[in-house]
Amino acid sequence: MEPDEICWQALIRDVPDFPKPGIVFKDITPMLANGPAFSAVISQMAERVGPDVDAIVGVESRGFIFGAALAFKLGLGLVTVRKPGKLPADIHSVEYELEYGVDRLEIHRDALSRGHKVVIVDDLLATGGTAAATVELVRKLGADVESCLFAIELAFLDGRGALEDVRVESLLSFK
């Protein structure tokens, strides 16, 4: 069976009451552990990246997994967006709201330049706060966001609403 024919969606496991009661966590680790399935996901993501993209932006932490594999497949560089205190050089940072508080993301000031076109990649789109903060960081550097690309979208949380002016793509959507 060719990688694109693998039913990787069947390898997404529901874990009830994680990380807290009432939450059904979408666990991607079985899919990541299956080589043909992971390859299929990366191939499907690659089909959604335009020809003029300069870099992939991966968001900590699972966005690094998808972003690195996608950047490698496309021959592009990978720019990482990290949690506070993880980047060694001069940074831009942005605070954003979570359903349970406030968090911060950072990017190196020299990671991108004006006019660079990027695709932001992460494993999951939920409420959109992390993705919107990443868009803000990329734009602080003068780069253009071609799209945000996710393996999974929890559509019932309307994360797209936080990304109104950005094209959003997801491979698998839970309504």
Quote the CA–CA distance of 4 and 158 in Å, as a whole number: 28
**Domain annotation covers residue 3:** no
Q: Kindly list the catalytic residues.
A: 62, 99
CATH number at residue 159: 3.40.50.2020
**Domain annotation covers residue 67:** yes
**Domain annotation covers residue 2:** no
Tell me which amino acid residue 85 is. G
pLDDT, tens digit, 9 for 90 and up, residues 65-116:
999 999 999 999 999 999 999 999 999 999 998 767 899 999 999 999 999 9
Which residue segment(s) compose the domain that 69 sits in?
Answer: 50-173
pTM summary value: 0.94
Quote the CA–CA distance of 75 and 54 in Å, as a whole number: 10
Helix (H) or strand (E) holding 92: strand 91-98
**Domain annotation covers residue 72:** yes
3 state DSSP class of 104: strand
**Domain annotation covers residue 33:** no
Query: Among all chains, which residue has been given the structure tokens 């399935």?
Result: 37
**Domain annotation covers residue 20:** no
Query: Which pair of tokens denotes residue 161?
Result: 């609403």
Q: How many domains does the chain have?
A: 1
Helix (H) or strand (E) holding 138: helix 129-140
